[in-house]
């Protein structure tokens, strides 16, 4: 029988290898396209505007913008996850109710 620690290591390795297959290795092209986009120009303008209006450095403004976008993304990811969990709970509850009839 495989030791628990070894099993965990095998599972973690399998997860990482699975993720490697899903990674788009054209990251240089993707990065180049993203950096040349008009959205980046708009973000650059937003950085300048925030830095000037708040009297902070461009670095601080960029960090605030990125952190705010990350937080919004996390909030919506959490929300969607909770909606999914609630839907599953509702389905399970409905199934249990039907099984008792």
- For residue 1, is pLDDT > 70? no
The answer to whether 49 and 42 have CB atoms below 8 angstroms apart is no
Q: How confident is the model over 45-95, as pLDDT tens digits?
A: 999 999 999 999 999 999 999 999 999 999 999 999 999 999 999 988 888
C-alpha–C-alpha distance, residues 36 and 41, integer Å: 8
Two tokens, residue 63: 């960090």
Alpha helices in the chain (DSSP H): 4-22, 27-35, 38-54, 58-99
First to last CA, the chain: 44
């Amino acid at each position: 029988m495989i030791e628990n620690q070894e099993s965990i290591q095998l599972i973690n390795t399998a997860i990482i290898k699975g993720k490697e297959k899903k990674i788009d290795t054209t990251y240089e092209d993707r990065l180049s396209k993203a950096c040349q986009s008009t959205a980046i120009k708009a973000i650059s303008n937003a950085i300048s505007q925030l830095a000037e209006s708040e009297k902070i450095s461009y670095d601080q403004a960029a960090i605030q913008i990125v952190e705010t976008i990350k937080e919004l993304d996390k909030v919506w990811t959490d929300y969607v996850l909770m909606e999914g969990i609630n839907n599953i709970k509702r389905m399970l509850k409905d199934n249990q109710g039907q099984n008792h009839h």
